[in-house]
Structures are given as C-alpha cells and as structure tokens.
Amino acid sequence: MKKINPLSLSHLILKNQIKPGDTVVDATVGNGHDTLFLAQLVKTGKVIGFDIQENALKKAQALLDENLRDASNVHLIQSSHENISDYIKTEITAVIYNLGYLPGGDHSIITKFEPLVRSLISAIQLLKPKGIVSIMSYRGHTGNEYSQLLSYVTHLKQDQIDVYQVSALNQKGLPAELFILQKK
C-alpha cells in the first residue's frame, strides 16, 4: 500500500482524468518524474513539458529514455511555463505544476509568482471542460509563492472553475500543499 501524500493524491486524481490519446502538460519538468507519469497515462497522446533549465530537461529526457520504449510523443521545451500559449494551440486535459526549485539543482532558481499566474491563466483557457490543473506548492522555500498562490486561486470565479486544497494538518514543518483546479 502506498503512503498517502499530496503528490500521490495529485497522481491519483490525474490518473482518473487522463486517458490514452489526451494532450497534457508538465509545466515544471524538473527531474522528469511527473513527465514520465503523464507519458505513461497518455500512451499515444502528447505530453508537453516546460522547464527553463537545460540541466532539468536533460535529466528528464534520460529518465524518459530509460523507462519508455518510445518517448517520441513527449516534447520537452526549454522555456518558462508562462509561454504555454505560444506552444500549445489545442485543448488539453491536464496540467501539473510542482513549484519551488529543481531538486538537486540551483536553489536560487525558483518559481516566481507573476509568471506562474500568467501560466495559470493560459493553462485554464486551454483546458477542456472537466480538465484538471494540479499544483504542488511548498510553503517553506525562499520566494514562497504559496501565500500569493492561495490568495489567487481563492478568488477564481466559482462559475468557471472549482478549487480544492489538500493540506497535511498534523505534520511538522511546512509540508507541501496541493491545489486542484477543475474547469467547469
């Protein structure tokens, strides 16, 4: 039995929404674990991944090559997720964000709130009805986009999108928080 945590809940929700053939986005590729997860779900569909760090994309590509027979449906783009609408013109089923910094990378390169909001606006517009945005946010890192993100998603229009938050209430420190947005 798997341990329940915000990331496993995110994956469970996405697994129930994403079908083979869908187009999905990993807005923050990092080391590629979410990219691989999405590729395994869409099978013949399309995964588009964004990261500003070349090192992240190289690590992700190595992970994909190691774990998939064919990763030709995965397109990794060295660009900020705020440019999502420059690269994607079709409806998407899901977008996953894992905010903060690249694990094992330069911790001074972090998610900034303003580009994140621009990305979310575009992602929500591209979502098909019932599409999902999953956002993993960390309260404890420098830059702390968490409080700004919480305020932003709290004020999204209820008639257009549902917003859910998953928190580990009895955990020490500042555990990750999961936000799930579903387009109506």
Of the ranges 3-17, 97-111, 122-136, 161-175, which is most confident? 122-136
Per-residue confidence band for 106, with pLDDT thresholds at 50, 70 and 90: low
Q: What is the mean pLDDT of residues 90-104?
A: 85
Q: What is the mean pLDDT of residues 153-161?
A: 96
Q: Would you mind telling me the total number of residues written for the chain in this entry?
A: 184
pLDDT tens readout for residues 56-91: 999 999 999 999 999 999 999 999 999 999 999 999
Average pLDDT, the chain: 91
Q: Where are the domains of the chain?
A: 6-183
The answer to whether the predicted template modeling score (pTM) of the entire model surpasses 0.85 is yes
> What is the pLDDT, as a whole number, of residue 108?
60
Q: What is the mean pLDDT of residues 133-141?
A: 84
Per-residue confidence band for 172, with pLDDT thresholds at 50, 70 and 90: confident
> What is the pLDDT, as a whole number, of residue 73?
96
Q: Identify the weakest region by mean pLDDT among 4-8, 18-22, 30-34, 156-160.
A: 4-8
User: How does DSSP classify residue 79?
Assistant: S
> What is the pLDDT, as a whole number, of residue 120?
96
> What is the pLDDT, as a whole number, of residue 103?
65
Q: What is the CATH architecture assignment of 6-183?
A: 3-Layer(aba) Sandwich (3.40)
Q: Name residue, tokens 């440019």.
A: 83
User: How does DSSP classify residue 110?
Assistant: B
Per-residue confidence band for 3, with pLDDT thresholds at 50, 70 and 90: confident
For residues 67 and 62, give the distance between their C-alpha atoms in angstroms, rounded to a whole number.
9
C-alpha dist (Å) from residue 120 to 41, 87, 133: 22, 14, 8
C-alpha dist (Å) from residue 134 to 8, 108, 124, 165: 11, 24, 11, 10
Residues 114/45, Cβ–Cβ less than 8 Å: no
Q: What is the mean pLDDT of residues 87-101?
A: 92
